[in-house]
Amino acid sequence: MENTQVKQPLNSMASKIAQIDELCKKAKILPVITIAREQDVLPLADALAAGGLNALEITLRSEFGLKAIRMLRDARPELSVGAGTILDRHMLKAAEEAGSQFIVTPGSTQDLLEAGAQSELPLLPGISSASEIMIGYALGYRRFKLFPAEISGGVGAIKALGGPFPEVRFCPTGGVSAANLKNYMAQPNVMCVGGTWMIDNAWVKSGDWGRITDATAEAIALFD
């Protein structure tokens, strides 16, 4: 019979869970960033860092995603830079090669979860149901991104999922804003949130970095 056991990396799943916990403890908010222009990469990162966000999720939704990760890892080594919108193992490999320090996915497939289990990088898989959690759980995952959070039941869903999955912690993303942030963070099984509300596209396009810094600082202040 063929052995289908997933080969575990030197960096164990327990170690990667600890890395995600530490990342979320420091970050509190993971800004979900899609780069439309290469010229925005560094000033946007600097604006977010000035407001208090030092962990950035750079999505691969645009042609500049991988290049932005490389630029930030080279020019801003003090930041934690991860890759988001990873859809398959090929994108995962490209993100690893670009220097990503963590991986975030919008959903979960068996193949992608297995690739993440084999990777040296911590992976935060996206889920929207108990069944998806169970697939990841079987491979050792205990930290998940609830996406899209509000459409998938929001705070109510997180409370309900806490019953059958007491070890699981969530990073809700999608519909999270300054208006409902405190409701999410009040849940004991929420470790951080993902959001975009502090990165208004109009501010980025006009280079209004000060407004992004102010919005970021206001978001961080909600945790006080």
- Residue 145 is a catalytic residue: yes
For 77, how many CA atoms within 13 A lie in the half-sphere containing its CB?
A: 1
| DSSP sequence for 34-83 | --S-GGGHHHHHHHHHHHT--EEEEESSSTTHHHHHHHHHHH-TTSEEEE
Inter-CA distances, 174 with 5, 23, 132, 184, 194, Å: 33, 19, 17, 12, 7
Selected catalytic residue, list 16, 28, 132, 145: 145
Amino acid at 211: R
55-59 and 193-195 strand pairing: unpaired
Write the DSSP symbol of residue 8: P
- Residue 57 is a catalytic residue: yes
Selected catalytic residue, list 57, 78, 93, 120: 57
Annotated active-site positions, please? 57, 145
